[in-house]
């Protein structure tokens, strides 16, 4: 740690790199590596979205804009939720954010202070832990259990992890890295619990469209009332191949909009209107792309799962959604060390399960949103590496 001439907050001094980033950085020096480590595919954003943003730029949509996003995007999102779930959202419940990450941070800033805690269902994308810790909160983790039938949550364990200092429960459904989708009875029981304890539920639904047996994953929005303590986080990143755009949104409880607007003013002071015009195009004209994206991910998953299960010592936990699969290698040792060797010697990048909190240690995460050719090449390399490992 650098010894600065100023006093850094301990919460910031103690921040660690994500282990996913640790492995990813090692890959910079490996020529021709196939990176299946981070949460994005190999497709660029489709032209119809880029064109809408470019046109908005040329039209001079370059000024400060509404803290909750341009009205046209909020209107598109209202229509989108109606089409997906048959629900009618009030405009005041929608806020456009600088992607899912910023949405998570804004919600955590609203809820967690020093001495509070948030309970997270793990293994999960670890950035939520850092949001809580940066604000001086304690992260409590309740692990899903993976087996040959999928991932399972013990709801009693989740409830038992909450105490009087618990201000939020965070879960991603569909989950990253697990693809776990919270069953309906658990969603209802959790909602009842949160109501009775006045604890906020932060539901991360950024993978809601990457689901293989139905058009959309079930949402908390279908069961929560506008006054319930539920914040639903979503993003353009995964569904429309827009990771670099950094645009997402939150559906918030009723009457929260003025609080959000003040907080946004002191974080980003609002988003980029020309990018938001691209997002309007994604919502209004993106369904064919989404269908193609899901079909591509489904074939990627089927390919990878059949190749992995045919390998000696490898097993996978079935997933219903997302674009990740969690795999186990018998006698793997430490997952981070394994991934570091795999990058250098095998020229494939996977994310170590140790990066995702409790319950992930024994696994490796693979993102299969890639072309068939690259996935096949990655599987060839992995089996060659394992033969020598
Ligand atoms: C579960 C989950 N939530 C949120 C995000 C944030 O995505 P973005 O900030 O690109 O919208 C990610 C990205 O990997 C994720 O996996």
Residue among 237, 247, 355, 360 whose CB has most ligand 1 atoms within 8 A, to mutate: 237
Substitution candidate for ligand 1 out of 40, 41, 122, 127 with most atoms within 8 A of CB: 127
Cα(172) to centroid of ligand 1, in Å? 10
Q: How much is the pTM?
A: 0.96
| Three-state DSSP string of the chain | CCCCCCCCCHHHHCCCCCHHHHHHHHHCCCCCCEECCCCCCCCCCCHHHHHHHHHHHHCCCCCCCCCCCCHHHHHHHHHHHHHHHCCCCCHHHEEEECHHHHHHHHHHHHHCCCCCEEEEEECCCCHHHHHHHHCCCEEEEEECEEECCEEECCHHHHHHCCCCCEEEEEEECCCCCCCCCCCHHHHHHHHHHHHHHCCEEEEECCCCCCECCCCCCCCHHHCCCCCCCEEEEEECCCCCCCHHHCCEEEECCCCCHHHHHHHHHCCCCCCCHHHHHHHHHHHHHCHHHHHHHHHHHHHHHHHHHHHHHCCCCEEEECCCECCEEEEEECCCCCHHHHHHHHHHHHCEECEEHHHHCCCCCCCEEEECCCCHHHHHHHHHHHHHHHHHC
Question: Going residue by residue through the chain (389 aa), what tens digit of pLDDT does each one get?
Answer: 678 999 999 999 989 888 888 898 888 889 999 999 999 999 999 999 999 999 999 999 999 999 999 999 999 999 999 999 999 999 999 999 999 999 999 999 999 999 999 999 999 999 999 999 999 999 999 999 999 999 999 999 999 999 999 999 999 999 999 999 999 999 999 999 999 999 999 999 999 999 998 999 999 999 999 999 999 999 999 999 999 999 999 999 999 999 999 999 999 999 999 999 999 999 999 999 999 999 999 999 999 999 999 999 999 999 989 999 999 999 999 999 999 999 999 999 999 999 999 999 999 999 999 999 999 999 999 999 999 88
CB of 172 shorter than 6 A to ligand 1: yes
Phi/psi at 220 (5° precision): -65, -25
- Answer yes or no: is the C-beta of 320 below 6 A from any ligand 1 atom: no
18, 36, 128, 176, best to mutate for ligand 1 pocket (most atoms within 8 Å of CB): 176
Span from the CA of 298 to the centroid of ligand 1 (angstroms):
20
């Amino acid at each position: 740690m650098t010894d600065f001439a100023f006093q850094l907050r301990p919460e910031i001094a103690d921040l660690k790199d994500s282990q996913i980033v640790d492995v990813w950085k090692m890959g910079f020096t490996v020529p021709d590596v196939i990176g299946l480590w981070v949460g994005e595919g190999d497709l660029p954003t489709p032209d119809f979205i880029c064109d809408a943003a470019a046109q908005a730029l040329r039209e001079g949509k370059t000024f400060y804009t509404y803290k909750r996003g341009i009205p046209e995007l909020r209107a598109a999102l209202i229509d989108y939720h109606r089409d997906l779930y048959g629900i009618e959202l009030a405009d005041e419940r929608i806020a456009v954010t600088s992607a899912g990450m910023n949405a998570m941070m804004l919600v955590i800033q609203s809820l967690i202070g020093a001495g509070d805690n948030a309970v997270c269902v793990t293994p999960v994308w670890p950035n939520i832990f850092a949001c809580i810790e940066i604000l001086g909160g304690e992260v409590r983790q309740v692990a899903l259990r993976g087996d040959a039938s999928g991932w399972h949550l013990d709801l009693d364990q989740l409830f038992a992890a909450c105490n009087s200092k618990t201000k939020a429960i965070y879960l991603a459904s569909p989950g990253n890295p697990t693809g776990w989708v919270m069953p309906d009875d658990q969603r209802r029981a959790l909602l009842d619990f949160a109501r009775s304890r006045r604890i906020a539920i932060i539901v991360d639904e950024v993978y809601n469209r990457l689901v293989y047996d139905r058009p959309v994953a079930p949402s908390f929005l279908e069961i929560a009332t506008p006054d319930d303590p539920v914040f639903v986080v979503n993003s353009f990143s995964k569904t429309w191949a827009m990771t670099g755009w950094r645009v997402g949104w939150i559906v918030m409880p009723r009457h929260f909009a003025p609080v959000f607007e003040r907080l946004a003013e002191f974080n980003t002071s609002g988003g980029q209107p020309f990018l938001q015009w691209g997002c309007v195009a994604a919502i209004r004209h993106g369904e064919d792309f989404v269908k193609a994206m899901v079909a591509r991910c489904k074939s990627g998953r089927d390919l990878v799962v059949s190749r992995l299960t045919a390998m000696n010592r490898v097993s996978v936990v079935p997933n219903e959604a997302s674009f990740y699969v969690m795999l186990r290698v018998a006698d793997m040792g430490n997952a981070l060390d394994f991934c570091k060797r795999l990058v250098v010697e095998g020229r494939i990048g996977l994310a170590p399960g140790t990066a995702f909190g409790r319950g992930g240690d024994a696994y490796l995460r693979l993102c299969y949103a890639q072309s068939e050719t690259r996935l096949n090449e990655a599987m060839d390399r992995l089996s060659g590496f394992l033969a020598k490992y």
